[in-house]
Amino acid sequence: MFEGKNGKSYKDIDEIGENHIGTSAKTPLRPDAFVLSDEEKIERIQESVTDILTTLGMDLNDDSLGGTPKRVAKAFVKELFGGLNPKNRPELSTFKNTYKYGEMLVEKNIVVYSTCEHHLLPIVGRAHVAYISKGSVIGLSKMNRIVEHFAKRPQVQERLTMQVVQALQEALGTQDVACVIDAKHLCVNSRGIKDIESSTVTAEYGGLFKNKETKREFLDYIKLETNV
């Protein structure tokens, strides 16, 4: 019988079922995760997708389906899960806060496209990120890029929220970083309970954002309408 991490068998995993248990803020990767090149991974995944579609009864000789296995494989490696590879992590260049801006900076409504690691179905939503400078500032687009990077991997929303905060704390040299994500999970919306209205909200607050007043200010900024 298969044994995975911590000696869990397929039977154990099946019994966990919908109890989605998170283990760490780190994405669970094997030590040999990057031994294969992207091209080698695409080739192997292409074969696996071919097997899946064939098992489902699909005729891959059809013009519409013939290229699907390779398209899926390329999308997995190069796009949807490109954030797994550390070489794709964006450079988070910072600058001295020469203009002495001492208030909260909020980048809101950052689009989130991710993939639920439990069913490999999309997660779609918005992230709102803020920090208070302790001497360094970061380019606004870098905040979007770090969200995108960690979203491009099999994810749970709680972990994604924590990873965004931790990456910005490290880059900015301050604990005063916060992130709120509001997203729809197609594993809920399109299967199982099939609730198309519900969304999931997660938050991670560091440093000053743990203070009630600072947290309230951040949440009030998120609610502001942007009319430009």
pLDDT higher than threshold 70 for residue 151: yes
44-81: string of b/e by CB count within 10 Å (b at 16+)? Answer: ebbeebbeebeeeeeeeeeeeeeebbeebbbebbeebb
Residue 14 dihedral angles phi and psi, to the nearest 5°: -65, -35
Tell me the CATH class for 94-223: alpha beta
Under a CB-based contact definition with an 8 Å cutoff, are residues 178 and 206 in contact?
A: yes
Residue 16 dihedral angles phi and psi, to the nearest 5°: -60, -40
Residue of 9 and 187 predicted with greater confidence = 187
Catalytic position from the list 118, 166, 175, 217:
118
- Going from N- to C-terminal start, the domains of the chain cover 36-80, 94-223
Determine the average pLDDT of the residues in 135-157. Answer: 97
- pLDDT confidence bin for 9, thresholds 50/70/90: very low
Among left, alpha and beta (phi > 0; psi -120 to 50; other), residue 127 is beta
pLDDT higher than threshold 60 for residue 28: yes
- Catalytic: 187? yes
- Catalytic: 117? yes
- pLDDT given at position 223: 93
The angle that helices 157-172 and 140-151 make with each other, rounded to 10 degrees, is 140
Catalytic position from the list 46, 107, 117, 128:
117
pLDDT higher than threshold 60 for residue 6: no
Catalytic position from the list 43, 119, 166, 169:
119
pLDDT higher than threshold 90 for residue 14: no
Determine the average pLDDT of the residues in 152-174. Answer: 97
Catalytic position from the list 128, 149, 155, 185:
185
- Catalytic: 119? yes
Determine the average pLDDT of the residues in 38-56. Answer: 98
- pLDDT given at position 12: 44
- pLDDT confidence bin for 4, thresholds 50/70/90: very low
The H or E element spanning position 68 is helix 68-74
Catalytic position from the list 46, 155, 179, 187:
187
Residue 65 dihedral angles phi and psi, to the nearest 5°: -100, -20
Condensed to tens digits (0 to 9), the pLDDT of residues 89-120 reads 999 989 999 989 999 999 999 999 999 999 99
Catalytic position from the list 46, 155, 157, 163:
157
Task: Return the number of other C-beta atoms located less than 10 Å from residue 126's C-beta.
Answer: 16
Average pLDDT over the chain, rounded to whole?
A: 90
Question: Which structure tokens are listed for 180?
Answer: 């709120």
- Catalytic: 116? yes
Catalytic position from the list 46, 107, 116, 204:
116
CATH architecture under which domain 36-80 falls:
Orthogonal Bundle (1.10)
Tell me the β-bridge partners of 5. Answer: none
- pLDDT given at position 11: 44
Tell me the β-bridge partners of 205. Answer: 178
- Catalytic: 179? no
